[in-house]
């Protein structure tokens, strides 16, 4: 006969029912400081169990959006809903939302176990349950032997994992993370990106993650919203944003690009560089003769011996980086182009002064209207969370 532990059964049932918690909605959310709109009319839906990243440069409104969701900043207008219930006027401590800061915000005078017990004690959880949850949380973040240590006795990566454990120990439907890996070195960041993503998937948590690091956003997210000047410039999966940027800002912010100046040609899909060279490109129709920019990612350019392709160039610089080699090549009519080649180990890298030829696919050359200042230009776009398209 099989005996069932009632407490274990209850926990399993609770875990199963919690899997669909944490659906988020932002409805017409605004935040003004004086006459300046820091967040301007944000409309966004985040699905339960989704790892959603808000990505953008400093000052774009991403952290303010997160702070409004956490309850630390009061909106000037609009609503925030979790699982259909408005929380806009609910106090931060009553929102049942977990939060991880870049600084970790662990209490230095408390042990790890005491740090983890604090949010449970505030919720008047019984002592026996607190001990069980602490053990489970430490197991989740693979620090079972750290219960009696103090934050100062932990490495940066360990402190970060304890901060995550404290944020999820009370079983919140939503976990908010504000640049949580920003203080760590590159290798540790990459390692913890994998750990955090695996933990989020295991617990079916809704995560709202804020960062300015494009690689971090691409590596971890189900979907990304690129934010600029208080608005969502474009939203979608990492591959959608990278392969199909809707604006010049998104194309420049996600990944590296060569920019080629010129004008739109007389036919759709034609671009005339400033030198007069005509290129076949992809993008929305732009009025013939209107100023335009073409973006071309360095890894999408193919190098070959001189004469093999139509566009001739001279290698002006090369940098060997192990997994790949980065080149600068001067192409008459197109200017200096940056090119990235994977290191296949089959031949020596091109050297400075080498005559080469280059090619790229039409679909990889994207045309956009030329803004006066791409870094500051306004892009009046609205992201549809159901269709992922511009309106």
304 Cβ contact list (under 8 Å, min separation 6) = 356, 357, 358, 359
Give the residue extent of every domain in the chain. 6-96+172-243, 257-369
The sign of the torsion formed by the CA atoms of 58, 59, 64, 66 equals negative
End-to-end C-alpha distance for the chain, whole angstroms: 61
* Model pLDDT, residue 371: 66
Determine the Cα–Cα distance for residues 184 and 213; give it in Å rounded to an integer.
13
Can you name the CATH fold of 6-96+172-243?
Answer: Rossmann fold (3.40.50)
Contact in structure between 141 and 128 (CB atoms under 8 Å): no
Within 10 angstroms of residue 109's Cβ, the number of other Cβ atoms is: 10
Tell me the DSSP string of 110-172: S-HHHHHHHHHHHTT--HHHHHHHHHHHHHHTT-GGGTT--GGGS-HHHHHHHHHHHHHTT--
* Cα-trace Rg, the chain: 25
* Model pLDDT, residue 97: 93
Look up tokens 């408005």; give the residue. 86
* Model pLDDT, residue 1: 36
pTM value is: 0.84
4 Cβ contact list (under 8 Å, min separation 6) = none
Contact in structure between 336 and 330 (CB atoms under 8 Å): yes
* Model pLDDT, residue 19: 52
Determine the Cα–Cα distance for residues 324 and 345; give it in Å rounded to an integer.
10
* Model pLDDT, residue 18: 44
Q: Which residues pair with 263 in a beta bridge?
A: 272, 291
pLDDT in tens, the chain (391 residues): 333 333 443 443 344 444 578 999 999 999 999 888 999 999 999 999 999 999 999 889 999 999 999 999 999 999 999 999 999 999 998 998 999 987 878 999 999 999 999 999 989 999 999 999 999 999 888 899 999 999 999 998 899 889 999 999 998 999 999 988 877 788 888 888 888 898 899 889 999 999 999 999 999 999 999 999 999 999 999 999 999 999 999 999 998 999 999 999 988 899 999 988 999 999 888 899 999 999 999 999 999 999 898 899 999 999 998 889 999 999 998 999 999 999 876 778 899 999 999 999 999 999 999 864 444 344 333 223 333 333 3
Show the CA angle centred on residue 370, arms to residues 364 and 373, nearest 5°: 120
Determine the Cα–Cα distance for residues 286 and 276; give it in Å rounded to an integer.
18
* Model pLDDT, residue 184: 77
Contact in structure between 149 and 112 (CB atoms under 8 Å): yes
For residue 324, give both structure tokens: 């790949």
Can you name the CATH fold of 257-369?
Answer: OB fold (Dihydrolipoamide Acetyltransferase, E2P) (2.40.50)
């Amino acid at each position: 006969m099989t005996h069932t532990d009632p407490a274990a059964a209850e926990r399993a049932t609770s875990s199963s029912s919690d899997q669909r918690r944490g659906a988020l909605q932002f409805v017409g959310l605004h935040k003004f400081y004086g006459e300046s709109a820091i967040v301007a009319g944000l409309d966004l839906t985040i699905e339960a169990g989704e790892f959603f990243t808000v990505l953008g440069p400093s000052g774009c409104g991403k952290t303010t959006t997160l702070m409004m969701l956490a309850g630390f900043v009061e909106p000037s207008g609009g609503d925030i809903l979790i699982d259909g219930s408005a929380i806009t006027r609910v106090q931060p401590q009553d929102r049942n939302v977990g939060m991880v800061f870049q600084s970790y915000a662990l209490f230095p005078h408390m042990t790890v176990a005491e740090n983890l017990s604090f949010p449970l004690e505030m919720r008047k959880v019984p002592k026996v349950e607190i001990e069980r949850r602490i053990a489970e949380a430490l197991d989740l973040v693979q620090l079972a032997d750290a219960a009696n240590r103090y934050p100062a006795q932990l490495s940066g990566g360990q402190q970060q994992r304890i901060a995550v454990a404290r944020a999820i120990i009370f079983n919140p439907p939503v976990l908010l993370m504000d640049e949580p890996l920003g203080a760590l070195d590159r290798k540790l960041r990459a390692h913890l990106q994998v750990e955090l993503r695996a933990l989020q998937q295991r617990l079916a948590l809704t995560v709202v993650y804020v960062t300015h690091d494009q690689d971090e956003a691409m590596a971890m997210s189900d979907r990304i919203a690129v934010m600029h000047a208080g608005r969502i410039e474009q939203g979608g999966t990492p591959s959608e944003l990278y392969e199909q940027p809707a604006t010049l800002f998104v194309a420049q912010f996600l990944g590296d690009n060569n920019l080629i100046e010129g004008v739109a040609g007389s036919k759709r899909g034609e671009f005339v560089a400033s030198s007069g060279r005509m290129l076949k490109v992809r993008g929305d129709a732009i009025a013939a003769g209107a100023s335009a920019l073409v973006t071309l990612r360095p890894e999408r350019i193919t190098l070959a011996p001189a004469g093999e392709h139509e566009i001739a160039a001279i290698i002006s610089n090369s940098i060997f980086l192990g997994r790949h080699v980065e080149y600068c090549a001067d192409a008459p009519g197109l200017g200096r182009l940056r090119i990235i080649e994977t290191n296949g180990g089959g031949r020596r890298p091109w050297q400075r002064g080498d005559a080469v030829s280059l090619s790229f696919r039409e679909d990889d050359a994207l045309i956009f209207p030329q803004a006066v200042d791409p870094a500051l230009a306004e892009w009046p776009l609205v992201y549809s969370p159901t269709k992922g398209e511009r309106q």
